[in-house]
């Protein structure tokens, strides 16, 4: 296992306990404590920064390619086609998924959503983010007095 395999694994494993807490114990005190601290996304972000710092030339090349709008996609493809780029992209995706999932979980808690709605939102929030957001927006409504 090299550093890229390890970073992929650690990014994924980092968010697991937070996701599981929101999924299985959404209203538990420990879940609230964990999700009201930035620690839930710090791991993948730190991994992303470490991977980016390990190859500054790739970032410079991408920045140069980005100056020409016709080269942006090609530059991004070149960056992502490396093990470092793919591992960094994965850490970025995982961090984004857990942040948006936290938003959906928090909204469910604030609106007093039924448990099945919270569970569905949180499950799909990490597994299929765009689907999770659509489900969440369709199901979660503020309770009217």
- pLDDT value at residue 71: 81
Q: How far apart are CA 5 and CA 42, in angstroms?
A: 19
Domain boundaries, the chain: 3-139
In this predicted model, what pLDDT tens digit does every residue of 55-104 receive, in sequence order?
A: 888 778 777 877 888 888 887 888 888 888 899 999 999 999 999 999 99
Buried b / exposed e over 124-137, threshold 16 CB at 10 Å, is bbbeebeebbebbe
Are the C-beta atoms of residues 98 and 15 closer than 8 Å to each other?
Answer: yes
The DSSP output letter for 142 is P
* Portion of the chain with pLDDT greater than 90, in percent: 71
Residue 109 has pLDDT above 60, yes or no: yes
In this predicted model, what pLDDT tens digit does every residue of 9-23 receive, in sequence order?
A: 999 999 999 999 999
Q: How confident is the model at residue 112 (pLDDT cuts 50, 70, 90)?
A: very high
């Amino acid at each position: 296992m090299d550093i890229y395999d390890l970073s992929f694994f650690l990014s994924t494993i980092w968010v697991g306990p937070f996701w599981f807490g929101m999924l299985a114990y959404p209203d538990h005190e420990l879940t609230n404590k964990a999700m009201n601290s930035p620690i839930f996304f710090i791991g993948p972000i730190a991994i992303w920064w470490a991977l980016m710092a390990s190859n500054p030339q790739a970032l410079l090349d991408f920045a140069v390619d980005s100056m020409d709008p016709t080269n942006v996609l090609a530059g991004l493809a070149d960056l992502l086609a490396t093990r470092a780029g793919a591992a960094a992209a994965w850490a970025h995706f995982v961090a984004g998924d857990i942040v948006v999932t936290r938003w959906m979980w928090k909204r469910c808690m604030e609106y007093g959503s039924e448990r099945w709605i919270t569970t569905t939102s949180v499950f799909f929030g990490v597994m299929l983010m765009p689907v999770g957001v659509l489900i969440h927006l369709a199901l979660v409504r503020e309770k009217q007095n």
